[in-house]
Structure 1
Amino acid sequence: MIFSFSATPDFDFLTHFARHVGTAVHHDLLIMPEHLGKGYIRKLAFGSDFKITLHHYTLREDLIIKRNSSGLGNELITIFFYSNEQSLSIAFNDNPLVLFSQRDDSAVQVTSNDLSSTIHFPAHHDIHYVVVAISPAYLTALLAMTNANSVIQTITGSSNSFLFFESMTAETKLLLKHIAAVDMNGSLSHFYMQIKVQELLYLLFHQLTSRENTMHQSINSADAERLLHIRSEIISDLSVPPVLSELARIAAMSETKLKQLFKQTFGDTIYNYYQQVRMQEAAFLLKQGNRSVAEVGYELGFTNLSHFSRLFEKYYGLNPKRYSSQY
């Protein structure tokens, strides 16, 4: 099933999706028709400039959501929290879908509404994600920051095109579970949810404030697509370090532009990002318990196991042997 829409500030996802699947919305709640699957989509509005949509369902067929550019510039900020056991596929500019989540089962995407995107959710898997839509002016007032860094200034400014990805912390994942479990029949549930959504934004923007102050490079859908493709190339074989010149050739960008846009979007340099994902993969493999520390190190391209151990301890606070013994 494909659902396509234009991301204008006045667009109501719930109403139009209900029409698309041939069902009704009652009290801002859509129950999935039985022939499509089970679950729900719920909308909560905390004012005309601040809304949240909660998706919780399992479908009988794949769902592809295509968000088309509004063409209006940054009149709305969309923050997408995805936490699933199934990997997430994202594409920009109508190109083939690129796998975003590998071993990590989560992603946070912050984007202006002038970028087109396509997200693919597989059939027969539990889908849990939250979308926050907020205007730049409302977010500025909510954050009430006096010395915002360049990332926050870009997000809250006008006419900026941007795409930022952040990792999802354990605290954010737990908060999302609590939000999904709230009984909305309670007399103070709406008020409680508003507080929790603001807490969710706090956790995200606390991460974003730690990014370096750099000049923002404008981004378009083609750039975004190339960056996701480069990320896919980086993590496709974690035993081989990335080669900047080769990645720049694949991206059809200069090395300087690629380095700038990658760090801006993902919050770290290409090599540091590679090492981080490499250590996440090492942790995943060690948790499985069917490989020795040496086997994991060699599989990820380390010829010096002492170096592997030191690097792993830098990320996780324990050496690989002690880490694996905990699982």
Structure 2
Amino acid sequence: MVHLNNKSPNIPEVLRRLAAQMNSQVIDNRLNIPEAYGQGFCTGYNWDSHLRMLILNYSLKRDMLIENADIDISGKMLLFKLQQVFPPPGSTPDLSSHFTPPSFLIATRKVATDVFLPVHTHTGTINIEIDTAYLSDRLKSSGHSRIIQRLLENEEPLIFEEMIFPELLPVIKEVTDHQHSDPFRSYFMQLKAEELVCRLLSVLENRTAAELQRLHQSDIQIIYQIRHQLTLHLDQPPNLSELAINAGMSVSKLKSLFRQIFGKPIYAYYNTLRIQEAARLLRARRLSVSEVGYALGFSNLSHFSRLFEQHIGLKPKKYAMQQ
């Protein structure tokens, strides 16, 4: 049975507003993007006041700006955002395409967010927000790491990001592919939203971090600009002194804040980016192993092969043959 549920309290307000702007309808918690505006879909759920989720997979013909009435003004929610989980429709990896690896971030609402939700030409994310009091009650333990404790306190700006690990992919696929009819779809999605929250927190629980520094919004923006610079120049090893000058901070502060947010030292993160890009290019089967290695700045292909195997578990040639 099809349910026209534009006015259901289970639907995030931002999804209703997007549907209204496109002269469309939310059907069974899903908005299919009209052809006149682009392609793809948005799916959203509100579960009481403690948990909500948006699944966004679309490409638009033009950018739009939708007021996000669901923004957490009270600051009681934590944001879990899985990014780049849907490839752009019709995209084929090559050396000319900009690489941004699939990742997830966890942030307190003390990290400034805009009250307007920008709708970009392509968006492929899963956004989950969960109330910290509800989450603390679910966890019911005082033995968590200092990172988890500080997140649950939700009293300061904190943001952590990690690349998506292979064990997470089946859960993401279940969320994005699930087609059961109501009432089971909503219940299933709630269970999967909480499973994703649990799995993502377990990654942070295993981080070995020094004392967390207090973050300012300007620091966060600068560190993300530095990360963006790394993705643009994967064939060039980062120069910490130059990066620090560009960031307007000392090398020690840059290294400390980068590791706090991304969980790795800058050079280790850079190498992970290179290997993830190498795997992406090899999956496309348009370039040879040597072409991929040289394009990513490896002058020694034996070193490339060893590093690839350390990260992926297979040598690049064998990995390419299995795709």
TM-score (norm 2): 0.79
Match of 1:310 among 306, 312, 321: 306
Classify the secondary structure of the residue corresponding to 1:110.
Answer: strand
Deviations 1:210-265 (A, max 9, x none): 21132222223221211111012222222221111111110111112111111111
- 1:106–1:120 distance in 2 versus 1, CA, 3 Å: farther
Question: What is the rounded CA distance, in whole Å, between the counterparts of 2:204 and 2:132 in structure 1?
Answer: 16
Match of 1:86 among 75, 85, 88: 88
Q: Point out the more displaced range, 181-190 or 259-268.
A: 181-190
- 1:63–1:214 distance in 2 versus 1, CA, 3 Å: farther
2:175 corresponds in structure 1 to 179
Classify the secondary structure of the residue corresponding to 2:274.
Answer: helix
Question: What is the rounded CA distance, in whole Å, between the counterparts of 1:12 and 1:137 in structure 2?
Answer: 23
1:277 corresponds in structure 2 to 273
Question: What is the rounded CA distance, in whole Å, between the counterparts of 1:129 and 1:292 in structure 2?
Answer: 31
Question: One-letter code of the match for 1:179?
Answer: V
Map of 1:289-300 to 2, 5 A cutoff? 289-300=285-296
Deviations 1:164-197 (A, max 9, x none): 2121233433322322333353333322222111
Residue 120 of structure 1, CA deviation? 6.2
Question: What is the rounded CA distance, in whole Å, between the counterparts of 1:233 and 1:316 in structure 2?
Answer: 24
Map of 1:216-295 to 2, 5 A cutoff? 216-295=212-291
- 1:306–1:33 distance in 2 versus 1, CA, 3 Å: closer
- 1:102–1:65 distance in 2 versus 1, CA, 3 Å: farther
Paired residue total: 301
Deviations 1:304-325 (A, max 9, x none): 3322222222112222333333
Question: What is the rounded CA distance, in whole Å, between the counterparts of 1:253 and 1:193 in structure 2?
Answer: 43
Question: What is the rounded CA distance, in whole Å, between the counterparts of 2:261 and 2:314 in structure 1?
Answer: 29
Gaps of 5+ in 1: 1-10, 88-100
Question: One-letter code of the match for 2:54?
Answer: T
Identical aligned residues as a percent? 31
Question: One-letter code of the match for 1:182?
Answer: H
Map of 1:60-75 to 2, 5 A cutoff? 60-63=61-64, 74-75=75-76
Residues 32 and 41, structure 2, Cα contact 8 Å, conserved in 1: yes
Question: What is the rounded CA distance, in whole Å, between the counterparts of 2:165 and 2:177 in structure 1?
Answer: 19
Residue 121 of structure 1, CA deviation? 5.4
Residue 21 of structure 1, CA deviation? 4.8
Residues 86 and 105, structure 1, Cα contact 8 Å, conserved in 2: no
Residue 42 of structure 1, CA deviation? 3.3
Residues 82 and 105, structure 2, Cα contact 8 Å, conserved in 1: yes
Match of 1:116 among 96, 109, 113: 113
Classify the secondary structure of the residue corresponding to 2:213.
Answer: coil
2:94 corresponds in structure 1 to none
Deviations 1:119-154 (A, max 9, x none): 86553x5x4422111121112222334321122122
Question: What is the rounded CA distance, in whole Å, between the counterparts of 1:102 and 1:279 in structure 2?
Answer: 15
- 1:187–1:324 distance in 2 versus 1, CA, 3 Å: closer
2:207 corresponds in structure 1 to 211
1:48 corresponds in structure 2 to 49
CA RMSD of aligned residues (A): 3.2
1:36 corresponds in structure 2 to 37
TM-score (norm 1): 0.78
Map of 1:97-116 to 2, 5 A cutoff? 102-103=98-99, 106-114=102-110, 115-116=112-113
Q: Point out the more displaced range, 72-81 or 147-156.
A: 72-81
Residues 80 and 109, structure 1, Cα contact 8 Å, conserved in 2: yes
